[in-house]
Amino acid sequence: MMFEVNLDKELKRLKKKVVGSFVAPVRYKLHDIFVANSADDIFLEFVNKKVVVIGPGEAPTKELEAAVRAADICILVNKGYRSGHFFGFAKKAKEVILFHCLNEDEERGGGVLDELILAEINVEKIIYPLSEKKLHHHYLKASRKLNKDFEILSIKKGWYEKIVHRLDGYRPNTGFAALALLIQSGCEDLYIHGFTFFRTPYQSHYRDNLTNASHAISAIESAGNHNPDKDLLLFKELIKDRQKIRLANVTKSIVDAPFDPIFYQ
């Protein structure tokens, strides 16, 4: 009798797995056709706007505060909206949009999406700038959790696959995908703060287990999905000869320095 019960459970588990293997790709394809936003759709959020985008690699400055006050839109990335360093700045912004990978794992993802904090800094839109079949379950879970109170915009796979191709097959991290979209969006002015391509550690209260740059590098290499060296090289290419992009001091110093690879050496 016990053998029959266990066999029945195993058959149900296998059935669920087999059905899921067929349903998931179809669901992802239908999402890309009917739900996901084209890059042009997302560009409309930023065209002719003054935009500030804040990453976790540089402490706040008076220059950043002035840029946030002057901007039409302030962009935060993943758990950056929960960081004490930037939470206060976000509350001073006219509009806040969050770019998030929608993986709520605190260590390997973008962190929990806290609806109360998001509402407190008046986030109404969340942009999901990735598009892979094996990541789509994160979008589905977040949509069920947030869709009543927040608008989630997701990018079509065509734009995303072009970025992956230019990164030699590596997945852009959420911050770099956000930068790539914003640079191409036609915004009037783009101020970039705190994107250091892992040449500096995270600021405290972002990922306290990775406040040492070498620890962050090891974590990225162990997963093998990202290559911030490739991100940096493509970033330099994307901003070349663009007059409406301003870089904060630390980001500028990294971009201006001779390229020195640090990943997968």
End-to-end Cα separation, the chain, in angstroms = 57
Quick one: pLDDT at residue 209? 44
pLDDT for the residue 215: 78
> What average pLDDT does this structure show over 137-162?
93
Rounded CA gap, 196 and 251, in Å?
5
Confidence tier at 19 by pLDDT (50, 70, 90): very low
The predicted structure's pLDDT at residue 3: 47
Computed over every residue of the chain, the mean pLDDT equals 88
Under 8 Å between Cβ of 234 and 167: yes
> pLDDT higher for 84 or 80?
80
68 Rama class: left (phi>0) / alpha (psi -120 to 50) / beta: alpha
Q: Is the pLDDT higher at 81 or at 18?
A: 81
pLDDT bin (cut points 50, 70, 90) of residue 57 is confident
Q: At residue 27, does pLDDT exceed 80?
A: yes
Q: pLDDT class for 2, splitting at 50, 70, 90?
A: very low
Share of the chain above pLDDT 70, in %: 86
Q: What is the predicted pLDDT for the residue at 217?
A: 85
Q: What is the pLDDT of residue 20?
A: 47
CB 98 within 8 A of CB 126: yes
Of residues 22 and 136, more confidence is placed in 136
What pLDDT does 24 receive?
80
In this structure, is the dihedral angle defined by the CA atoms of residues 221, 55, 80 and 141, taken in order, positive or negative? negative
Q: Is the pLDDT of residue 1 over 60?
A: no
Above 90 in pLDDT, residue 238? yes
Give the tens place of pLDDT for each residue, 90-141: 888 999 999 999 999 998 899 999 999 999 999 999 999 999 999 999 999 9
Question: What's the pLDDT tens digit per position in 178-235?
Answer: 999 999 999 999 999 999 999 886 544 444 444 556 777 888 899 899 999 999 999 9
Residue 84: the pLDDT is 75
What pLDDT shows up at residue 92?
86
Rounded distance between C-alpha atoms, residue 234 and residue 50, angstroms: 23
Q: Look at the block and give the residue holding tokens 């302030």.
A: 74
Concatenate the DSSP letters of all residues of the chain into one string: -HHHHHHHHHHHHHHHHHHHHHHHHHHHHHHHHHTSBPHHHHHTTTTT-EEEEE-SSS---HHHHHHHHH-SEEEEEGGGGG-HHHHHHHHTSS-EEEE------TTTSS----HHHHHHTTEEEEEE----GGGHHHHHHHHHHHTTT-EEEEB-HHHHHHHHHHTTTPPPPHHHHHHHHHHHTT-SEEEEES--TTSSPPPTTT-GGG-SHHHHHHHHHHH-S--HHHHHHHHHHHHTT-TTEEE-HHHHHHHHSPP---S--
Residue with tokens 């296998």: 14
How far is residue 217's CA from residue 212's CA, in Å, rounded to a whole number?
9
Burial degree of 43 (CB within 10 A; 0-12, 13-18, 19+): middle
Split at pLDDT 50, 70, 90, the class of 4 is low
Lowest mean pLDDT among 61-70, 78-87, 195-204: 195-204
Q: How far apart are CA 213 and CA 218, in angstroms?
A: 9
**How far apart are the C-alpha atoms of 70 and 92, rounded to whole Å?**
10
